[in-house]
Amino acid sequence: MTAETILAWYDRHARTLPWRSPPGASPPDPYRVWLSEIMLQQTTVAAVKPYYERFLARWPSIEALAAAEDAELMAAWAGLGYYSRARNLLACARTVVAEHGGRFPASSAELRRLPGIGDYTAAAIAAIAFGEPAVVVDGNVERVVARLFALESKAAVRLQAAALTPAERPGDYAQAMMDLGATICTPRNPACAICPVRSDCRAFALGAPEAWPVRPPKPAKPHRRAFAFWAEADGHVLLVTRPAKGLLGGMRALPTGAWDAQPSLDDAPFPAPWRLLDPPVRHVFTHFSLDLSVACASVRRDNAAGEWWPMDRLDQAGLPTLFDKAARLALRERMTETATAC
């Protein structure tokens, strides 16, 4: 297989994405490449597109993003998940503005020194925005290379990916490999019949392309339970800001107790006639699943630490998905009670 084969296929079949330049065109703005690559970490293209477009409309430059308030950016990120990316996004923007005059470093080695940028992201930005023949290996690229050569280790895949990376058009080549993995060499039911490198593919020749990449069995995820507390007063609900470090750090949320096997209503932010709603909200994180039971109470605002948010503007609070689910459960219960009373 040659890079020319992949690039020729890409010239005809490249996906049109808002952060890309067309095949063979001048490289895109590094800010746009960086923003898209951070958003695309462990997140689908379909999920990222609307967020990316809203972010660009709101913060069209690295300087504008660096000047954003933390709470404003975290609220805009709500629902996209993996919230440490949002904190690193802001830290990186401020570093680029403060230490690099608003210009991204042009090499993968220098890019890796910025907050939130690891090996893959640095290589992708360097290749796509600056034309460095960096070795770009994401999940799609890993799958393509592993199948082409029937490789069983990540180290072997990376070595072979480096050998394939061309000096000319490295950005287009990186995106071509991503597209090949995303649209043809898919995890299940790969479209081998229309693959441009089928004749060179060892996994296809062996008749079992889905056997690669070789994955170790996943351990079972632990399960946790917790209570979230919906405290309302005068058309407002109590929200808190979660600690900056840790899960959903820096995000607005309902108050909660500990997330463990034996949660307790004693974890409530203050005494009140708490009433449990049913069923609990089920949410799956990367490393564990959670049942979040919602306890509701009408209270006074006295001695409540947090932020009283208008319930009719709750969609503007930027709640992460878990707490958005919990809030919707509480609001549905309120509507049911109102209807019953009428």
Active site residues: 37
Non-local CB neighbours of 215 within 8 Å, separated by 6+ positions? none
Q: How far apart are alpha carbons 248 and 149 in whole angstroms? A: 40
> For the CA atoms of the chain, what is the radius of gyration?
24
Task: With CA atoms as reference, report the closest residue to 178 among 31, 33, 81, 25.
Answer: 33
- Alpha-carbon distances of 54 from 18, 40, 57, 111, rounded to whole Å: 12, 15, 5, 25
**d(Cα 133, Cα 126) in Å, to the nearest integer?**
8
Strand partners, 16: none
CA distance linking residue 266 with residue 56, whole number of Å: 44
